[in-house]
Amino acid sequence: MSAYAASVKPAPFVTPDTPRAKFAFQLYAAVGISVFLLMMVAGVIMRAGQGAWLGIPPNYFYEVLTLHGAGMVGTAGLAGAAVMWYFLRRYVELSNGAFLAMMGLSLVGVVLILLSIGLGGFAGAWTFLYPLPGHGMGLWGTGAAATFMIGYLAIGVGFLVFYADCALAIIRRYGSLARGLGLDQLISGKVDPAHPAAVVASTMAVIVNVLGILGGAIVLVMTLVALYEPGIAMDPLLMKNLIYFFGHVFINVTIYMAVIGVYEIIPRYTGRPWKVNRAFLGSWAAVVLLVLSVYPHHLLMDYAMPRWAAAMGQIVSYLSGIPVILVTAWGALVNLHRSGAKWDTPLRLVVLGVFGWAAGVIPAIVDATIRVNLVMHNTLWVPGHFHFYLLLGMLPMVLGTLLYACTREGRASAPLDKLVFWGYAIAGVLFCGVFLDSGVHGIARRFATYDAPWIGYAQAGAVAGTVVLVCVLFLGGRILARLPRASLAA
Ligand code: HEM
């Protein structure tokens, strides 16, 4: 056995591959793929509505927008957590019960959210910006808004259970979260190249997302209080800060969890280990602070915000994505260069994920520049950049990992895969490009109906979105068909 094969061989303390663990993984894969596909259908419906191909009354459009936003963000969280669990359990002992509890509580949350939107007509968007939930203006009532908030709280509790289990497991194995993150090695300069990248990234995700979710829990409870005690006036600026702190951290961490698939899968194709070094550990340590402090770039147009906060939002945005993206993109290129790796579909997908993440961050950084934000704020430039790194970054990393897990014993590529892969990548770039170009031309985001000059953009987006949907349907179908044969072994 090669030194590399030995290094990725599960250590004796690895979580056992019981039928329950396999069931948990299969459940996450099945739920994740099904909900992603359903939410994509919702996305295409919105684009077709904006393109005047479908007549969707505005109140329904905003219900679909709320469903799509909350559904996609929640599923991205669960799918990212599944990637993290799949690989982290090779290094530390995780509980299947905690992992399943996150899914159980999330499903309770999903039912509540579906009831609030479907029956209650709640359409206050996934960002539930105060005081909007309490102002349904006849479209939804207090009960519907409260049900939505309680649904979010249930999902948040589920994630906290999972992260608590991961934190305990990392502490049991490495002594502390700081050691899991590799801070001791960073400070002493004695870096152990075999320290798993998956553990470093997971530790970052645990620290950052627990804080993000706690911020979310506070603002959700404040929203509930405001709904039932409207006499208690909340500070809208504080509420907005808490919401964007939570929202930014949560959606960002979905990528930081999914990228573990890149660190683990590329080496298995190239036969070269992903060695951590000081730059890698330093980047992941820095990103803990950067992801927590960057959210004011969502509030650049809030003139009540202190000037220093806006300046910090811009400066930290320039710094925040760069270190980890650089070490990941550079590390992936170096690992792949002249490795003779076989370009199976899982490898293609995770490499597409690195591209989508790295490229998508560029328009995000542009928009975080105060001068640019003055023009681009609330235009379609915003969905343009986040769809880029979610649809072409996070999602391919997740699909690549799931396909990898399901094809360990069997063919990783099917005859049509190449065509579907390129269809996904090209249509995905076009779909996001249409959003970005619409933003450049000043088309507002979150508009249910469009003026005549905007309609062509929406139609182009609807066509590209449909192609993406068909390609993901194909890849998702392949994963679901092979799910019974999924392997949890390294
Ligand atoms: C075929 C794929 C997809 C299509 C067609 C689609 C379509 C759309 C559309 C039309 C909007 C509203 C844009 C506007 O403001 O006018 C939107 C918003 C959004 N999408 Fe997607 N989307 C897709 C995939 C995704 C994915 C993969 C994610 C995340 C994992 C995602 C997350 C979101 C979020 C968070 C919003 C913002 C909702 C809001 O403004 O409240 N979408 N999408």
From the CB of 446, is ligand 1 less than 6 Å away?
Answer: yes
Nearest to 41 by CA among 446, 466, 428: 466
Which protein residue has the closest C-alpha to ligand 1 atom 8? 43
- ∠ Cα 388 393 396 (to 5°): 125
Which protein residue has the closest C-alpha to ligand 1 atom 38? 69
4 falls within a domain: no
From the CB of 72, is ligand 1 less than 6 Å away?
Answer: yes
The separation between the first and the last C-alpha atoms of the chain, rounded to the nearest angstrom, is 14
Which protein residue has the closest C-alpha to ligand 1 atom 20? 69
282 falls within a domain: yes
Query: What is the domain count for the chain?
Result: 1
The Cα 304–Cα 29 span in angstroms is 44
> pLDDT (tens digit, 9 = 90+) per residue, 25-66?
999 999 999 999 999 999 999 999 999 999 999 999 999 999
From the CB of 73, is ligand 1 less than 6 Å away?
Answer: yes
The Cα 62–Cα 55 span in angstroms is 13
pLDDT of residue 14: 67
Nearest to 133 by CA among 49, 70, 68, 226: 226
2 falls within a domain: no
Whether the CB-CB separation of 307 and 224 falls below 8 Å is answered with: no
**396 cis-preceded (ω within 30 degrees of 0):** no
CA separation (Å) from 362 to 48, 372, 381, 437?
A: 28, 13, 12, 14
pLDDT in tens, the chain (490 residues): 344 444 455 554 567 788 999 999 999 999 999 999 999 999 999 999 999 999 999 999 999 999 999 999 999 999 999 999 999 999 999 999 999 999 999 999 999 999 999 999 999 999 999 999 999 999 999 999 999 999 999 999 999 999 999 999 999 999 999 999 999 999 999 999 999 999 999 999 999 999 999 999 999 999 999 999 999 999 999 999 999 999 999 999 999 999 999 999 999 999 999 999 999 999 999 999 999 999 999 999 999 999 999 999 999 999 887 778 889 999 999 999 999 999 999 999 999 999 999 999 999 999 999 999 999 999 999 999 999 999 999 999 999 999 999 998 777 788 899 999 999 999 999 999 999 999 999 999 999 999 999 999 999 999 999 999 999 999 999 999 999 999 887 5
Where b means 16+ CB within 10 Å and e means fewer, 61-72 reads bbbbbbbbbbbb
116 falls within a domain: yes
Ligand 1 atom nearest residue 458's Cα: 10
| Both tokens assigned to 391 | 């649809």
From the CB of 65, is ligand 1 less than 6 Å away?
Answer: yes
262 falls within a domain: yes
From the CB of 47, is ligand 1 less than 6 Å away?
Answer: yes
Cα 47 to ligand 1 centroid, rounded to whole Å: 9
8 falls within a domain: no
From the CB of 395, is ligand 1 less than 6 Å away?
Answer: yes
The Cα 435–Cα 457 span in angstroms is 8
From the CB of 87, is ligand 1 less than 6 Å away?
Answer: no
CA separation (Å) from 479 to 34, 96, 351, 412, 472?
A: 11, 22, 18, 10, 10
The Cα 168–Cα 175 span in angstroms is 10
Ligand 1 atom nearest residue 472's Cα: 1
Which protein residue has the closest C-alpha to ligand 1 atom 22? 43
Which protein residue has the closest C-alpha to ligand 1 atom 43? 43
**Single-letter residue type at 208:** V
Give the 3-state DSSP-derived string for the chain, with helices as H, strands as E and coil as C: CCHHHHHHCCCCCCCCCCHHHHHHHHHHHHHHHHHHHHHHHHHHHHHHHHCCCCCCCHHHHHHHHHHHHHHHHHHHHHHHHHHHHHHHCCCCCCCHHHHHHHHHHHHHHHHHHHHHHHHCCCCCCCCCCCCHHHCCCCCCCHHHHHHHHHHHHHHHHHHHHHHHHHHHHHHHHHCCHHHHHCHHHHHHCCCCCCCCHHHHHHHHHHHHHHHHHHHHHHHHHHHHHHHHCCCCCCCHHHHHHHHHHHHHHHHHHHHHHHCHHHHHHHHHHHCCCCCCCHHHHHHHHHHHHHHHHCHHHHCCCCCCCCHHHHHHHHHHHHHHCHHHHHHHHHHHHHHHCCCCCCCCHHHHHHHHHHHHHHHHHHHHHHHCCHHHHHHHCCECHHHHHHHHHHHHHHHHHHHHHHHHHHCCCCCCCCCCHHHHHHHHHHHHHHHHHHHHHHHHCCCECCCCCCCHHHHHHHHHHHHHHHHHHHHHHHHHHHHHHHHHHCCCCC
From the CB of 460, is ligand 1 less than 6 Å away?
Answer: no
From the CB of 125, is ligand 1 less than 6 Å away?
Answer: yes
Nearest to 352 by CA among 455, 475, 444, 461: 475
Nearest to 403 by CA among 395, 412, 394: 412
Which protein residue has the closest C-alpha to ligand 1 atom 7? 43
3 falls within a domain: no
Whether the CB-CB separation of 319 and 290 falls below 8 Å is answered with: yes
From the CB of 43, is ligand 1 less than 6 Å away?
Answer: yes
From the CB of 69, is ligand 1 less than 6 Å away?
Answer: yes
Please name the residue that has the structure tokens 């002249």: 338
From the CB of 465, is ligand 1 less than 6 Å away?
Answer: yes
Which protein residue has the closest C-alpha to ligand 1 atom 30? 72
The Cα 430–Cα 60 span in angstroms is 26
Look up the domain containing 447 and give its range: 14-485
From the CB of 79, is ligand 1 less than 6 Å away?
Answer: no
The Cα 210–Cα 301 span in angstroms is 28
Whether the CB-CB separation of 331 and 274 falls below 8 Å is answered with: yes
pLDDT of residue 198: 97
Cα 392 to ligand 1 centroid, rounded to whole Å: 12
Question: What is the CATH number for 412?
Answer: 1.20.210.10
96 falls within a domain: yes
Ligand 1 probe mutation, 54, 387, 429, most atoms within 8 A of CB: 387
**Single-letter residue type at 196:** P
Ligand 1 probe mutation, 72, 463, 472, most atoms within 8 A of CB: 72
Ligand 1 atom nearest residue 446's Cα: 15
The Cα 195–Cα 8 span in angstroms is 11
Whether the CB-CB separation of 120 and 63 falls below 8 Å is answered with: no
Whether the CB-CB separation of 67 and 112 falls below 8 Å is answered with: no
